[in-house]
Structure formats: C-alpha cells, structure tokens
Chains A and B, each alone.
Chain A
C-alpha cells in the first residue's frame, strides 16, 4: 500500500467512526462535536484529491459556520443535554433494510461505472484550478444562472431575517 492509500483508509475510518458516534452518543453536544470530526475527515479527503478550495471551504462553511451554529443552538435551547429512553424505535429494521438496499444499489452502480478503476489524473503544472472554478461560476456558458439563483435565494433569506428581527422590535 502506498502512503496515500494508508492515509485514505485511516481517514475513512475516522469519518465512518465519527458518523457512527454522531447517531449513537447520548450527549447532544458530543454528537455535534463528532459531526465536526466527520466533516474534518471529509476535508482531508478533499485535500488528498488536490481540491484545495473545496477543502478550505469545507472547514469555513461546515465547521466554522454550520457546526458552530448547531452547537450554539443545542446549548441555548436544551436544558438537559442528555437524551433519555431507547435510541431505536420498534420499526428500526425497516430503516436498516432500506439503508442496506440503498447501499447495495449505490455500490453496484458505482462498480458498473467505467471510471471506477481509473486513477486520478495528475493536474499539470501551471493549471490554476481555482481560477478555472471561478471563471466557470460566472461565465454564461457554465454556471452563472444557478450561481445567481443561489445568490438571490440567500439574499431573500437575509432580507427575511432582518424583517423578522425588526418586526419583533416594534412589538415591544
């Protein structure tokens, strides 16, 4: 095994183990922290694929914003940070079998793909992937429409949040 493969296996174990802990631990804040660990593992995968931009954005957005918000919301809303009672419902086996079925379907699909056995192409020196990504996001031939639609959606959410916040002030 090459060094990269060893790192990949270790990272996958980290991601899967953390993801398992997210759903099994009884302390909510700890579950959120395990989620951070899983997300960080995905960052390592991106970095190994030479997707620097995605790796850093993964940390900024998922760990810096979303996970911090999760932890914050959990800490502010719940008095007791432990869950009592059984962690499974009576029909858990339906969910489990559905999960196994979906996994089997996905695996068979991926193995059928011609790209399954290919090794990653080495990015030639001098190609700035970041610049290509940036150009693709704003070029009319590529993704400018989805990009702008997403921007408008976020702007609408922002305006809505400001509106709700200011309405509350009036009622007082």
Chain B
C-alpha cells in the first residue's frame, strides 16, 4: 500500500535496499539512486516531448481546418517517431566561419534550460524533484539561461539573419521578464512562500486565478513572450528573417531547439496550472471530505496535473495559431507602457489587500481580492478607451486639416 501513496520514495527505498544488499556504501547507493531518478525524470520529459510533437501538429491542424498527421498509425500517432528518424538521419551542417564550440553547445543549453525546470515541477504531492524554497526565482533563472542559449546560437552561426533573430529575442525576453517577475510576486504574496509546492498547497481552498485573474492574464502574456511564440515570434519571423536564430542548424541540432520549444510551452502550461489553478490539487477543499479522499492519491493527482498543464498548453497554442505577429515597436510599447505598469498596480493592490482582508473569512477574502482585480481591469479598459478616443480625435483633426488645406 505504501507504493500507492508515495511511489517515488517507495521505489527509491526498495532500490536502496538492493544496492546496499550488493555491498555498496550507503552514500554511494544514494548518489546512484539520485542519478537514476534524474535520468528517469528527463526521460519522462523527453518521451512526453515526442508526444507533444503529435499534439501540436494535430491541434494546429484543427485550428487551421485541416486533419493533421493521420497516415502513420492510429490517428497518426506514430508520426512523431517518423519525424525524429528523419531529423536524426539528416546531414549535420556546421557553417564555415561558425564558432564551432559555441555553435554546438547552444542547442544543448536551449533544451537543458527547459529540462532543468522539471526539477521543481511537482507532478503530485509525493512526485517531485526538489522542493526549493526559491522555486519562483529558479523559474526566472532558467529563463535567463534560455536567453543565453539563443544569443549563443545567433552569434555563433555567423549569419546576419541568425544574429537579428537573436537580437530580437533578447529584446523580447529581457523586456517581458520584468512584468513576469513582478507578477510572480503575486502568488508569492498570496501563498506566503516562494516554494512551488507551497504555492500549490496554498490553493487547496481557492485558486489564485480566482483571487487574482489579472495576475493570471499578465503571467500568460509574459509567458508566451518568454516562449517566443506567436504573437511574440519576432525571433523566427519567417517572412522577414527566414528562421531567425536557428537558421543555420540542421538535423538533430535543430531538433533540440524544436523539442526545447515544445517542452517549454508545455512546462509553462504546467506552471500556469501550478501558480494559478492549484496544480495537482486545488479541489476547493473537496479532498478533505472522506468520500473524496481518493483525490489525495498521487496517481490521481498526476493525472489532474497533466490535464491542467495540457489545458494551459492548449491555450498557448490557441493564441499562437489565432494571432498575427506583433511589430517590434508595438511589442516594446505594449510591455513598457501597458503590461509593466499594470503588473505593478496589481502587485501593490495584492500586497495591501492581503494585509487588510487577512481577518475576514475565506469567502470574504476571496471576494474582496476578486472584485478589486475586476475593478482594476475596468479602470484599465476605461483608460485605454479614453486614450484610443484621444488618438482617433487627433487623427481626425489631422485629416480635416489636410483636407482643408
């Protein structure tokens, strides 16, 4: 029965027993088990990644009114394996004049900057890599490694399009990191901890997406920008700079960027689920009632988490395939003149209200938080409307003046 409630520790304890039974030193056995654990986690993420290729292709096809892969295997399920075989056997090209070492490290760094995020991803209450007390900052740190990987790829390729793509990506990521870091403080304040697991547990009563819907929306937008997905896909704008930072990469080296991007999108779907939708839990207190105690089972929790993460991933895909690309000056103006100030307002609001409403019962606290967010949203829309009106009047006056002359 222990296996059903704590599978990871159960297997680890069992393997530890076997290894020490073979005469290994205790500490060495622990190191070996940790290494196996890391390998299993990475393999799980990468196998999931293979299936994400299929999910992505199938979903984009539906959004574009096509069928998607449907030839190989049932529902085209074998298609991603065919894609991988194709990628592996393609010619591996290193452009002349490329910085060989940096050029070869960049795709590995790009993929690993995503995989290290899985270390802190709690899939269930007893299935997680590590429960860091600085989990939120770790998320930001992994993002900055991704930026570095893209700069390295863009610079080392010795190609002007690659370099332009890298410049754009860095401008994008550095700008949108600011509203993201600010808005990540909202779950931190609400949960009173930076640990990812602590944030999940703090939502067993009510989701943070209900307490702060604006924070969720801002995080979603900045996450999409950090992913470099449409409408923020200026880094690989195929109509302007061909393919951007990864233009010179072929075969499996390109495959690493592609796999990294897909897994990154799914991982951010997971983080949206964790930070705002209760992660593996968040059943509104239902799991404490005896009849629903099966919701506490780690396997049920894992299914719940993967479902929520897939939903977040689906929303990211939905936006990607419905929006045109944003122009670079619009992208920067949107970030600095709209998203960052709004994020600051939401943060200040949350910080003040969490102290003011702390003595109220849970429903009063939740309603106060929710309606303060709605109020901020309405005021923002009013300000935007007034601004748009002023612009239109100014343009109208200009047209009238020109016509008059």
Contact = CB atoms under 8 A, between A and B. Distances in A.
A binds B: yes
A129 B102 CA distance: 37
B112 interface: no
Given A56-B132, A60-B141, A65-B144, 5 more contacts: A36-B148, A59-B145, A60-B137, A60-B144, A64-B145
A52 B99 contact: no
A30 interface: yes
A53 interface: yes
A53 B151 contact: no
Contact of A64 (B102, B133, B143, B155): B143
A68 B144 contact: yes
B141 A71 contact: no
B147 A68 contact: yes
Interface string A67-84: 110011001000000000
B31 interface: yes
Interface string B179-192: 00000000000000
Contacts of B102: 29-30, 33
A56 B137 contact: yes
Contacts of A171: none
B151 A64 contact: no
A102 interface: no
A60 B194 CA distance: 15
Rank and list the top 9 A-B pairs by shortest CB-CB distance, nearest first.
A64-B144, A59-B141, A56-B137, A60-B141, A56-B134, A52-B134, A56-B141, A130-B133, A53-B134
B170 interface: yes
Q: Which of B102, B141, B167, B177 has its CB near the most chain A CB atoms (within 10 A)? A: B141
B163 interface: yes
B370 interface: no
Interface of chain A: mostly helix, strand, loop or mixed? helix
A164 interface: no
B138 interface: yes
Contacts of A68: 144, 147-148, 151, 170, 174
Contacts, number: 65
B42 interface: no
Given A59-B145, A60-B140, A75 B155 contact: yes
- Interface bracket on A: 20 to 34
Contacts of B194: 130
Interface in B114-143: 132-134, 137-138, 140-141, 143
A94 B134 CA distance: 45
Interface in A13-71: 27, 29-30, 33, 36, 52-53, 56-57, 59-60, 63-65, 67-68, 71
Interface in B163-177: 163, 167, 170, 174, 177
A71 B144 contact: no
A63 B148 contact: yes
Contacts of A65: 144, 174
Contacts of A33: 102, 152
A122 interface: no
Nearest to A68: B147
B134 A64 contact: no
A163 to B, nearest CB: 15
